[in-house]
Every structure is written in structure tokens, then in C-alpha cells.
Amino acid sequence: DIQMSQSPSSLSASVGDRVTITCRASVPIDNYLNWFQQKPGRTPKLLIYGASNLQNGVPSRFNGSGSGTDFTLTITSLQPEDVATYYCQQSHSVPIFSFGPGTRLHIK
């Protein structure tokens, strides 16, 4: 099974900051990597698919990059509404998926 890890597990930043979340796969997964945002009490929302492709309607301040085993989600200018937990997910072994443990993002 492909295992996913994320760092940091929790992050606090100020409005306007550049924020970076890292995801690592246990084996190379090319660019079969998705990012989700889950706000408190809400359903997960797809942000990025294929490592770097922005889902329709997602603000352009969200960027994804990486390939192989190491991936990054960047928020270029943090906004108050970005408070959420962010999960990476591999789709290399679809339809068997696996998620990272999540990164909880707070505002300072």
C-alpha cells in the first residue's frame, strides 16, 4: 500500500503570509496527487488534482507542485477563509486511494 505523510501537522500563520504544506509518498507516484481542503464541520473540497491543476472555482492563490515522492501545496497570500485542514491524497493506485494525515492551518 502507498503511505502518505504530511508536514507540518499544524501550522499558524498571519493573513497575507505565504504558506507551504509538504506531502510525501512512500513510493514514486508520478504526479497522481490531489489536495483537499476541509473547513471545520464541512465536507472535504477538492483543490488541486494531478499535483498542479487547480480545480474549477478554486482561488489562484492556491498552487500545487511536485512529482515522484515529494509534493507541495502553497497558499501565496493567506486569507482568513483559508482556515482549514488540508489533506493530500494519492491516486496512483486508483481506485485504491490513500490520504495523508492532514495539516491543520490556523490564523495567528
Partner 1 sequence: EVQLVESGGGLVKPGGSLRLSCEASGFTPSNFFMSWVRQAPGKGLDWVSSISASRNFTYYAESVKGRFTISRDNSKNSLYLQMHSLRAEDTAVYFCARSYGFNTFYYAMDVWGQGTTVTVSS
Q: Which of 19, 21, 25, 36 binds partner 1 (CB under 8 A)?
A: 36
In angstroms, the CA 64 to CA 37 distance is 13
Between the alpha carbon of residue 43 and those of residues 15, 62, 86, 91, 104, the distances in Å are 24, 19, 12, 19, 15
Segment interacting with partner 1 (CB under 8 A) among 10-18, 39-47, 63-71, 75-83: 39-47
User: If you search the block for the grid coordinates 478554486, which residue do you land on?
Assistant: 58
65 sits near partner 1 (criterion: CB under 8 A) = no
Binding residues for partner 1, rule CB under 8 A, total 26
32 sits near partner 1 (criterion: CB under 8 A) = yes
- What region does 51 belong to: left with phi over 0, alpha with psi -120 to 50, or beta? left
83 sits near partner 1 (criterion: CB under 8 A) = no
Binding site for partner 1 (CB under 8 A): 1, 32, 34, 36, 38, 43-46, 49-50, 53, 55, 85, 87, 89, 91, 94-102
